[in-house]
A and B are shown apart, each in its own frame.
Chain A
Amino acid sequence: MTAMWFERSRSGNAHAPLAALTLEELLAAAARGDEQAFAELYDQTSPRVYGMVLRVARDPAQAAEVTQDIYLEVWRQSARFDAGKGGVLPWLLMIAHRRAVDRVRSAQSSMARDDRYALLHEERPYDSVSEQVQISLEAQRVRKVLDDLTPAQREAVTLAYFGGYTHTEVAQLLKVPLGTVKTRIRDGLIRMRDALGVMA
């Protein structure tokens, strides 16, 4: 019962222009110390990374500092990327988001709770999403998928992702039980995953 699967060619040859390489190939080259490949990786991914960090940190100077730390970590960890657990971009954004929320949580830990909540209530994290956006077809698609969530799911997901709040904080902000927030976040993400057709 020998089975064949399709042979997939990987264009990892040294003559290919860097821009034609996949992120995975660029990262693999970076892992071998190829700084040019890493620069290309930076060029292809930094608007996603920096923009997200800026949205979470809200301060350009902090966002730049955190983004620099993120790419240094990506460079250091490049040989340890495990393609079996997902793509390069989700991996990179996972590192980035973790760093961004760590930064805002430690920066805000000294701020009084009430101030934080007041700050957030003035802001409308989801609506503000539409500003500054570079309108691309893909962004429009994600926007549509987010629009299709229930308002409660959308609010919980965006407060956690762009607001950098823990689910306990989200529950307090929305004045709903923690269990409800857990479910909204998970159900919202599952709907997004299914609608976006990301591989799971």
Chain B
Amino acid sequence: MTDELNVLAGAYALDALDDGEREVFEQHLRTCAECAQEVRGLREAAAELSQLSQVSPPPRLRSAVLGAVTHSRPLPPLADPVHGEAGEHGEHGEHGTVRPLRRARSQSLWQGLAAACALIAVAVSVWGYSEHRQAQRAASARSSVVQSLLDAPDVRATTTAMKQGEGTLIYSRKERRLVLIGRGMPPLPGNQTYQLWLMTETGAPISGGVFRPDQAGNVEVPASGNLDGVDQMGVSVEPAGGSAQPTPSTVQVLKL
């Protein structure tokens, strides 16, 4: 995070930047998950200010608004980040840390998904998971979790570059299952641990468990739960044993 840019997070959340500054800052937000996270919190705080200015609108405004929408159709959802052509960059790209190269690769993965039997071999090489697997041959039983998940009809995957290393999320909303595959994650001292979080829209983040990568920085973390409406996971660094809530400054966001 660049301190000079980071200090703009408050003014950005209040729409107090001029157009040029806003553009520069939004560019920065696409690559700085920490700033994006801070902006989100500050925006929510700013939104609370409107509690102080509540006024009931005139009744005719209601009919004008509802009259206007009958003549218009909601825009279709943005294309899925894995399957889609147009990503959700631009104004929606605050967390656009999914790298284009990976996206292209994952598309070819999904084309290959039809060939169910040969699947795991394809997936293993495409996801760059093979090194991890070779290093952990003895623990290969664990990847059966990934294999069974890849069989889910609505399986999706995204890869996000983290400050160090990267995280791939493979998940099925239908089957309510998810696996985080971390690669190149820096080792932590013995009194600290990584923790996975389901970032909910309304409430506090919900823990998906604590984990430690192996010496090569690789890890596979299965979790299960309701993913409806959930669009991102978080990885934080916590004291050993984990925390009830993530330590904000350490949270890295991984979009689903």
Contacts and interface: CB of A to CB of B under 8 A. Distances in A.
Interface of A: 1-10, 22, 24, 30-33, 35, 38-39, 42-43, 46-52, 54-55, 60, 64, 67-68, 71-72, 75-80, 82-90, 93-94, 97-98, 101, 129, 132-134, 136, 138-139, 141-143, 145-146, 157-158, 160-162, 164-168, 170, 179, 181-183, 185-190, 192-193, 196, 198-200
Contacts of B48: 142, 145, 192, 196, 198
B164 to A, nearest CB: 21
Nearest to A132: B55
Interface stretch (B98-106, B130-138, B196-204): B196-204
A94 B43 contact: yes
Contacts of B2: none
A50 B58 CA distance: 9
B209 A47 contact: no
A102 to B, nearest CB: 8
B201 A24 contact: yes
Given A35-B70, A142-B49, A161-B49, A46 B62 contact: yes
Nearest to B68: A72
Interface residues of B, number: 79
Given A3-B209, A38-B69, 14 more contacts: A35-B70, A51-B55, A64-B64, A72-B72, A82-B92, A84-B95, A84-B231, A93-B46, A94-B43, A129-B53, A138-B51, A170-B16, A189-B45, A200-B38
A134 B141 CA distance: 61
Contact of A52 (B9, B53, B248): B53
B47 A133 contact: no
A186 B9 contact: yes
Interface stretch (B114-122, B183-191, B219-227): B219-227
Interface string B164-186: 00000000000000000000000
Interface of A is mostly: helix
Contact of A33 (B54, B73, B200): B73
Given A84-B256, A134-B55, A42 B66 contact: yes
B224 A80 contact: no
26 contacts: A1-B221, A2-B222, A8-B206, A24-B202, A38-B69, A46-B62, A47-B57, A50-B57, A51-B53, A52-B53, A79-B74, A82-B231, A83-B231, A85-B231, A86-B40, A87-B44, A133-B54, A142-B52, A145-B48, A146-B52, A166-B18, A167-B11, A182-B10, A190-B10, A192-B46, A198-B45
Contacts of B42: 186, 189-190, 193, 200
